[in-house]
Amino acid sequence: MHFLMRADLETVKRDGFTIFTKGSEVRLPQVRCAEATEEIGPVDVVLIAVKATANRELERLLPPLLGAETALLTLQNGLGNEEFLSERWGAGRVMGALCFVCINRTAPGVIRHIDHGSISIGEFRRPASARARALVEAFRAVEVEAKAVDDLARERWRKLLWNIPFNGLSIAAGANVAEVLADRNLRALMAEGLDAARRLGHDIPDSFADWQLDRSETMGAYKPSSMIDHELGRPVEVEALWGEPLRQGLAAGAKMPRLEMLHGLIRHQTARGALRGG
């Protein structure tokens, strides 16, 4: 495995990665890392972990990695990322994955795993394939909870039921997960998401929202990544996480007044943060 390092290259070359997880410290002292994709060359699978705000950079980064059969597996949040990849490099290459995990990068080369850790992998606009199942087995081989899914779009909306309210309210209210759980807008936003998903053909039961809330109880004062990006003055995935779900929901006939308000507020707050440099 190769890592493209957009930051911390010299530190990781020297020290590798350190991962704190479940009371343990895991060291990866030797990591194959590069500053440019030209140093890596064609590969079997590209795991895309940049934020959706950096998608335009992929037009420069991805071509050196592409062979005839290279798969593009995006781990990004929100809607529109598979479409972006498909339009440029063909739908046949494109796969998506949903990660449900609480992690923060706390220092160069240092990752803190706080809670959970699972991944769902699917093909873009088609059922799970042999390559999707092979990737699932590769994750399971290193003790990562993983599954293959036949309906990637449905999985994206299932993840959005968490991302829309928790990432959104964390920015709007300056709140961590424990504080968002007490926000009276939380369930209303989840209800709007459920309605939009169902109108778009994704049958997600009310019990799934309850399950998401139950899973969140153990996260404590965890700060979602969007909140951290906003606090540090970095770009926030406003359109992928709130804008595109809102547009798709409204087009399907859903009423989403709280998401409309939240989207507008986040656009305002993140623009103001960018102007003042965080």
Nearest CA-CA partner of 154 in 191, 122, 131: 122
Contact 239, 263 (CB under 8 A): no
Domain containing residue 58: 1-150
Q: Residues 78, 112, 56, CA angle at the centre, nearest 5°?
A: 35
State the pLDDT at residue 189: 97
Whether 5 and 128 share a structural domain: yes
Residue 106 and residue 170 in one domain: no
Last residue of a domain, one of 121, 150, 179: 150
Residue 249 tokens, joined: 């929901």
Report the domain count for the chain: 2
Do residues 180 and 136 both lie within one domain? no
13 is catalytic: no
Are 261 and 164 found together in one domain?
yes
Which pLDDT belongs to residue 275?
44
The parts of the chain modelled with pLDDT lower than 50 are: 275-278
Q: pTM of this prediction?
A: 0.93
Last residue of a domain, one of 150, 167, 196: 150
Q: Do 44 and 133 reside in the same domain of the chain?
A: yes
If asked whether residues 86 and 184 sit together in one domain, one would say: no
CA distances from residue 234 to 48, 100, 237, 276 in whole angstroms, order as listed:
19, 22, 10, 11
What does the alpha-carbon distance between residue 35 and residue 2 come to, in Å, rounded to a whole number?
Answer: 11
CATH classification at residue 47: 3.40.50.720
Whether 246 and 277 map to the same domain: the answer is: yes
Task: Find the CATH number of the domain harbouring 191.
Answer: 1.10.1040.10
Note whether 4 and 125 are same-domain residues: yes
Q: What pLDDT is stored for residue 273 in this prediction? A: 57
Cα–Cα distance, 76 to 67 (Å, whole number): 22
Q: Which of 100, 131, 150 represents a domain boundary (last residue)?
A: 150
User: Which member of 13, 51, 147, 159 is catalytic?
Assistant: 159
Note the pLDDT of residue 278.
41
The reply to whether 266 and 141 lie within a common domain is no
Q: What is the pLDDT of residue 23?
A: 84
99 and 122 Cβ atoms separated by less than 8 Å: no
